[in-house]
Amino acid sequence: GENVEQHPSTLSVQEGDSAVIKCTYSDSASNYFPWYKQELGKRPQLIIDIRSNVGEKKDQRIAVTLNKTAKHFSLHITETQPEDSAVYFCAASKGSNYQLIWGAGTKLIIKP
């Protein structure tokens, strides 16, 4: 079955710098790749997603890139701010399968 690996487990960056979190997946049939943000004590919430027919998607300071050949996708956050501090999860799913396969999460720390 599908397996999603996420790296790094913890990422500490200076405020204003960029952050990149990477995920790899095993099932080449996967075609939907969302990213969720979970603030401390809160529920995970979708921040951006990408489908396999697109290579990159941007929404203000966040972007996601997908490399189908290498089977990996990445979350990019530019000009990081204190409110970006959170745990970020990637996931993958395919076709008619409702199941989302989750990465282990990355704790992003923004240093002032």
Partner 1 sequence: EAQVTQNPRYLITVTGKKLTVTCSQNMNHEYMSWYRQDPGLGLRQIYYSMNVEVTDKGDVPEGYKVSRKEKRNFPLILESPSPNQTSLYFCASRGDATNTEAFFGQGTRLTVV
Return residues touching partner 1 (CB under 8 A): 31-32, 34, 36, 42-46, 49, 51, 89, 93, 95-100, 102-105
φ/ψ (deg, to 5) at 52: -70, -10
Nearer to partner 1, 28 or 45 (CB): 45
Distance, in Å, from the CA atom of 75 to the CA atom of 60, rounded to the nearest integer, reads: 13
Distance, in Å, from the CA atom of 112 to the CA atom of 110, rounded to the nearest integer, reads: 6
E-assigned strands of the chain? 4-7, 10-14, 19-25, 32-38, 45-51, 56-59, 62-67, 72-77, 86-92, 101-102, 106-111
Nearer to partner 1, 20 or 100 (CB): 100
**Nearest approach, Cβ of residue 4 and partner 1 (Å):** 10
**Nearest approach, Cβ of residue 43 and partner 1 (Å):** 4
**Nearest approach, Cβ of residue 16 and partner 1 (Å):** 28
Nearer to partner 1, 32 or 76 (CB): 32
